[in-house]
Amino acid sequence: MRVIAYYRVSTDMQVDSGAGLSAQEDICKAWCAKNNTTLSESFIEKAISGAAPLDKRPALFKAISSLGKGDILLVARLDRLSRDIYGGIMIDEAVAHQKAKVISAAGEGTDSDDPASKMIRDIIRVVAGFERSITQFRIKAALAAKKARGERVGAIPFGYALGPNRKLIHKDDEQPTVARMVSYREKGYSLRQLAEKLNEEGLLNRNGSRWTHDSITNALKYTPIGTKHLTNRSWS
């Protein structure tokens, strides 16, 4: 029997701090020590939502694929595997197909497959899904409140910076490139032609990357051209 650990953190902040990963690792190692076993291998999923399907979670897919008969897929808590009841059931079935089983170091009904234990697992997944929905609702409400106060929400567009009271102000070193975009656009350049032209002239995006159809579109949304021409097929 091998014990394969799976760790997941859902935000870049957790990845950078390492706190979420190290805590999960400590919990799983403590479970192994208590059960007189050791971890054979560990798989880490960084900045991935618990609602993401299995085909969007390469580390989890590899962890399950590596399981053999009688092996254990160990997690600190069931919500590390999934925050969705249907996703959790699919993962259970994938693990069972490998003739292995899921164990939560926190217990959570994974010590047995009797009806009561299965019900506990399902309840925990429903609660995890509810918590995720509440978090999303609070974030949307907070962003809506910021927008109502005139504060900037989301990414800062090219050509602008955050000024006082989180209002957008012109970024002097980027506005000349924006003006060039508008000029070429008004001459009839398509979005792709415009991207190619700027790249040829060495007028790159903020992070030094080359312009693309999509990044040009995002930048032009905040220019005098607005979205009127962006939705015109003849200008695509």
When pLDDT is cut at 50, 70 and 90, the band that residue 31 belongs to is: very high
Task: Work out whether the CA dihedral 15, 147, 142, 170 comes out positive or negative.
Answer: positive
What ranges do the domains of the chain cover?
3-136, 160-235
Quote the pLDDT of residue 232. Answer: 42
The alpha carbon torsion through 106, 108, 113, 117 (nearest 10 deg) reads 150
Quote the pLDDT of residue 3. Answer: 97
Quote the pLDDT of residue 222. Answer: 73
Cβ 152 vs Cβ 168: under 8 Å: yes
More confident residue, 226 or 170: 170
Per-residue exposure over 190-219, b if at least 16 CB sit within 10 Å of its own CB, e if not: ebeebbbebeeeeeebeeeeebeeebbeeb
In the chain the first and final C-alpha atoms are separated, in Å, by 58
Share of the chain above pLDDT 90, in %: 31
What sections of the chain are H helices per DSSP? 12-17, 19-34, 58-65, 85-97, 115-148, 175-186, 191-200, 213-220
Radius of gyration (C-alpha) of the chain in whole angstroms: 25
Q: Can you tell me whether residue 30 is helix, strand or coil?
A: helix
Contacts of 131 (CB under 8 A, 6+ apart): 83
When pLDDT is cut at 50, 70 and 90, the band that residue 63 belongs to is: very high
| pLDDT of 236 over the 60 cut | no
Average pLDDT over residues 123-135: 75
Average pLDDT over residues 74-102: 90
Quote the pLDDT of residue 150. Answer: 65
Average pLDDT over residues 80-104: 90
| pLDDT of 104 over the 90 cut | yes
Q: Is 158 exposed, middle or buried (0-12, 13-18, 19+ CB in 10 A)?
A: buried
More confident residue, 233 or 82: 82
Distance of CA 173 to the CA centre of its chain: 31
| pLDDT of 11 over the 90 cut | no
Domain 3-136: give its CATH architecture. 3-Layer(aba) Sandwich (3.40)
Q: Kind of pairing, strands 160-162 and 101-104?
A: unpaired
When pLDDT is cut at 50, 70 and 90, the band that residue 30 belongs to is: very high
Of 105, 102, 103, 109, residue with least CA distance to 124? 109
What is the Cα–Cα distance from 102 to 5, expressed in whole angstroms?
A: 10
| pLDDT of 234 over the 70 cut | no
